[in-house]
Amino acid sequence: MAARGKIKKTFTDPIGKNNPVFAQVLGICSTLAVTNKLENTVIMSLGVIFTTTLSGVTISALRKLIPGRVRMMAETLIIASFVIIVDITLRAYMPDVWQQLGPYVGLIITNCIIMGRAEAFAMNNSPGLSLIDGLSSGIGYTYVLIVIAFFRELMGTGELWGITILGDWWTNWAIMVMPPGAFFMLAIFVWVVKGVIIKEEEAAK
């Protein structure tokens, strides 16, 4: 039972109160950079989920072999390899998307969530648990980005996934697709989640 409880906690924590973006404030660089188009956000997020999950498993499986002194080098190498695999795959099979995402895919390597989970979780837990942790950290990152991208693209361009949603009456908020729009949206998101939802939960206890 205890094991199942741990699995559940490992899965729900990064999605809920220990979310990598709004609780740990990791991965902010890409949160700000890619969220002005929903399509790019979703593909970037899939890349991050893939990388966090597989790097978590691999690092966890090797954790007893990795010497403490060079563990960060080893982690970076493993993470970078998975990211390059994503990059090559996109380039070969989804060239149009790859063109649009450009350097962002490579930047997944520097996404702090992946390194953070490797250091904090995968180095100390079994591959199975690390897989769940990586997957849920990726999902926790993804849904926050999708919410932000939804509002940024919609308000900034009147479109979603490139399809016009708001008619001619809508004046595009140019600031939403520019970097400041991301700061505003992220701040509002953190405020709503922490101020309203998490506070209510605490009050209920």
Comparing CB distances to another protein, the nearer of 18 and 81 is: 81
Three-state SS letters, 12-60: HHHHCCCCCCCCCCCCHHHHHHHCCCHHHHHHHHHHHHHHHHHHHHHHH
> Alpha-carbon distance 35 to 178, whole Å?
10
To another protein, the closest distance from the beta carbon of 170 in angstroms equals 13
Q: Do 85 and 23 form a contact (C-beta atoms < 8 A)?
A: no
Q: Do 98 and 19 form a contact (C-beta atoms < 8 A)?
A: no
DSSP output for 116-176: HHIIIIITTS-HHHHHHHHHHHHHHHHHHHHHHHHHHHHHHHSEETTEE-S-TTPPP-HHH
Comparing CB distances to another protein, the nearer of 27 and 156 is: 156
To another protein, the closest distance from the beta carbon of 138 in angstroms equals 21
Comparing CB distances to another protein, the nearer of 12 and 99 is: 99
Residue 15 — φ and ψ, nearest 5°?
-85, -35
Comparing CB distances to another protein, the nearer of 20 and 153 is: 153
| Residue in this structure with the two tokens 């399509």, named with its chain if needed | 39
To another protein, the closest distance from the beta carbon of 62 in angstroms equals 8
Interface positions with another protein (CB under 8 A): 36-37, 40, 62, 65-67, 69-70, 73-74, 77-78, 81, 84-85, 88-89, 91-93, 95, 99, 102, 153, 156-157, 172, 174, 176-178
Residue 145 — φ and ψ, nearest 5°?
-65, -40
Comparing CB distances to another protein, the nearer of 30 and 157 is: 157
To another protein, the closest distance from the beta carbon of 130 in angstroms equals 17
To another protein, the closest distance from the beta carbon of 195 in angstroms equals 29
To another protein, the closest distance from the beta carbon of 72 in angstroms equals 11
Comparing CB distances to another protein, the nearer of 36 and 60 is: 36
